Amino acid sequence: MGTIVDKCMRMVEGIYNQFDASHDFAHIERVLKNAEEISQKEVAANEEVVRLAVLLHDIDDAKYQTVGQKTATDILQTIGASDDLSQQVLACIDSVSFSGGNTKELTSIEGAIVRDADRLDAIGAIGIARTFAFGGARGRKLYDAHETARDQMSEAEYRGKETASVTHFYEKLLLLKDLMVTVEGKRIAQQRHDYMVGFLKQLEREVGLE
């Protein structure tokens, strides 16, 4: 039988492994690990809510939606989550997305943990790897010397334009360090941010973008 979290994990693994390498089940496993590290440093959080929210946070991502695919709500109902638990989990998920910097307000420590944990996987060495994996899957340029990173955009504008992978660093990834909420999230983010800055400087030297 297993716990409700175990049931959820079994249901979502196959779904995520149909996504490209930037959002596969390995991404979920890394975010779970990040969330555990953050939780150890924070005030008491509901571990079940955190784990379920991590497991489900990309299920409804519009980039990967297919006809007939189960939604996060469907999965919560299938595994027998109570209405209260489902509402808490869905509220966490709702606050995770970056959406061009138009982030929704956090309403719980669980939401803060899940959002920081997910954003940590978007930066540092793994963030670099995921950015180019996603760009490759979508046929995007590695870089575009003539493209200007946007600093103000709506969610629709953020999602509607397919920029080069390097541009994505300036439109999102380099901004995440200052958007972290938890103490441990901020600490880890600083290390990963510095690594990305070094990578971009080296890339600029190699391709003549300086």
Q: How do residues 79-96 score in pLDDT, each as one tens digit?
A: 999 999 999 999 999 988
Residue 207 φ then ψ, to 5° = -105, 5
Domain boundaries defined on the chain: 4-207
- Mean pLDDT for all residues in the chain: 91
Average pLDDT over residues 68-80: 95
Residues 6+ apart with CB under 8 A from 128: 196, 199
**Is it the case that residue 153 has pLDDT exceeding 70?**
no
**Is it the case that residue 155 has pLDDT exceeding 80?**
no
Buried b (16+ CB within 10 A) or exposed e, 45-77: bbebbbbbbbbbbbbbeeeeeeeeeeebeebbe
> Topology of domain 4-207, per CATH?
Hypothetical protein af1432 (1.10.3210)
pLDDT of residue 24: 97
**N-terminal to C-terminal alpha carbon distance within the chain:** 57
Percent of the residues in the chain that have a pLDDT greater than 70, as a whole number: 92
Contact yes or no for 111/182 (Cβ under 8 A): no
Integer Cα distance of 148 and 103 in angstroms: 22
Q: How do residues 190-201 score in pLDDT, each as one tens digit?
A: 999 999 999 999
Neighbours of 87 (CB within 10 A): 13
Residue with tokens 């027998």: 80
Residues 6+ apart with CB under 8 A from 183: 41, 42
Average pLDDT over residues 111-118: 96
Integer Cα distance of 33 and 178 in angstroms: 21
| Inter-CA distances, 82 with 20, 86, 99, Å | 32, 6, 29
**Is it the case that residue 1 has pLDDT exceeding 50?**
no
DSSP per position, 48-70: HHHHHHHHHTTTT-GGG--TTPP
pLDDT of residue 73: 96
Higher pLDDT, 150 or 129: 129
Angular region, 124: left φ>0, alpha ψ -120 to 50, beta rest? left
pLDDT band at 109 (very low <50, low <70, confident <90, very high): very high
Integer Cα distance of 129 and 127 in angstroms: 5
How big is the chain, counted in residues? 210
pTM comes to 0.91
**Is it the case that residue 68 has pLDDT exceeding 90?**
no
pLDDT of residue 27: 98
Report the range of poorest mean pLDDT among 1-10, 30-39, 191-200. Answer: 1-10
Integer Cα distance of 165 and 192 in angstroms: 18
3-state class (DSSP) for residue 182: coil
